[in-house]
């Protein structure tokens, strides 16, 4: 009887133990999903890539192709482009250049006057650089452009050659300046003025200083100069042509 009463108690204990063991063996339930907030903004899309066109490939240039030549520039003084060989003798250039036929006092255009000034400046620069042939050629081109200024241009040429230690070419230039003034003095009705007298006297003194003989004058202007000293001529023609300082 004692054994039979004990059996139900053991069965109940075992039943409770098995039930608790089964509960411990089960996995915990998964957490419920969190709903997304209603006001959340979606992420901004990525900016598009810039539409950059590839640079064009360089066009190959044949190695023997030369660039196009520039068009020649127009000039109002073409004699500035004359080429002169320095092998030419300055004396020969001067001796072969004839005086212009007459020294008419015709008015020069603005373009011609500018050309003459450019030629004289180029001639002066060339002589200073010891390029006598080129400098003489530029001055003679100025004479041909403006025959009315022949005596002044020849005289300036003689002075520049004299200053640059070219005595013989300077004599040739001074002689041409003298002859040009003498031709002007021969012209009928040409009035002798102080500027012409003192210019010719200055040429006469330069020729004498360089040891050259003064040509026999053919005009009244030349005879006045030969017969008087430069000082007396300055005193006489002072009012119209002041003396040099």
Taking the C-alpha atoms of residue 42 and residue 53, their distance in angstroms, rounded to an integer, is 33
Average pLDDT score over the chain = 77
Label residue 102 left, alpha or beta by phi (over 0 means left) and psi (-120 to 50 means alpha): left
Task: Give the whole-angstrom CA distance, residue 228 versus residue 215.
Answer: 15
* Share above pLDDT 90 across residues of the chain, in percent, rounded to a whole number: 51
The rounded Cα 111 to chain-centroid distance in angstroms is 21
Q: Tokens for 207, please give them.
A: 């020729």
- Greater confidence (5 vs 233) lies with 233
78-98+108-236: CATH class: mainly alpha
Q: Is the pLDDT of residue 34 over 70?
A: no
Q: What is the DSSP string of 101-140?
A: S----PPPPHHHHHHHHHHHHHHHHHHHTT-HHHHHHHHH
User: Is it the case that residue 79 has pLDDT exceeding 70?
Assistant: yes
Question: What's this model's pTM, rounded to 2 decimal places?
Answer: 0.65
More confident residue, 238 or 113: 113
**Where in the chain are the domains?**
78-98+108-236
Q: What is the pLDDT of residues 157-206, one digit of tens each?
A: 999 999 999 999 999 999 999 999 998 877 655 677 888 899 999 999 99
SS3 assignment for 131-152? CHHHHHHHHHHHHHHCHHHHHH
Separation between Cα atoms, residue 82 and residue 139, nearest integer Å = 12
């Amino acid at each position: 009887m004692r054994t039979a009463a004990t059996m139900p108690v053991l069965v109940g204990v075992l039943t409770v133990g098995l039930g608790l063991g089964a509960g411990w063996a089960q996995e915990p339930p998964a957490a419920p999903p969190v709903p997304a907030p209603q006001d959340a903004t979606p992420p901004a899309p990525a900016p598009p890539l810039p539409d950059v066109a590839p640079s064009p490939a360089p066009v190959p240039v044949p190695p023997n192709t030369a660039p196009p030549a520039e068009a020649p520039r127009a000039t109002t003084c073409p004699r500035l482009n004359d080429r002169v060989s320095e092998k030419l003798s300055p004396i020969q250039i001067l001796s072969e250049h004839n005086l212009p036929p007459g020294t008419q006092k015709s008015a020069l255009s603005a373009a011609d006057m500018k050309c003459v000034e450019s030629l004289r400046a180029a001639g002066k620069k060339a002589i200073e650089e010891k390029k006598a042939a080129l400098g003489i050629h530029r001055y003679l081109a100025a004479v041909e452009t403006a025959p009315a200024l022949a005596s002044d241009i020849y005289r300036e040429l003689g002075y520049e050659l004299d200053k640059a230690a070219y005595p013989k070419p300077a004599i040739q230039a001074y002689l041409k300046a003298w002859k040009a003034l003498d031709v002007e003095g021969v012209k009928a009705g040409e009035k002798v003025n102080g500027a012409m007298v003192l210019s010719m006297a200055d040429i006469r003194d330069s020729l004498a200083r360089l040891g050259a003989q003064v040509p026999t004058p053919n005009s009244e202007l030349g005879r006045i100069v030969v017969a008087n000293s430069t000082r007396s001529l300055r005193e006489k023609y002072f009012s119209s042509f002041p003396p040099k300082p």
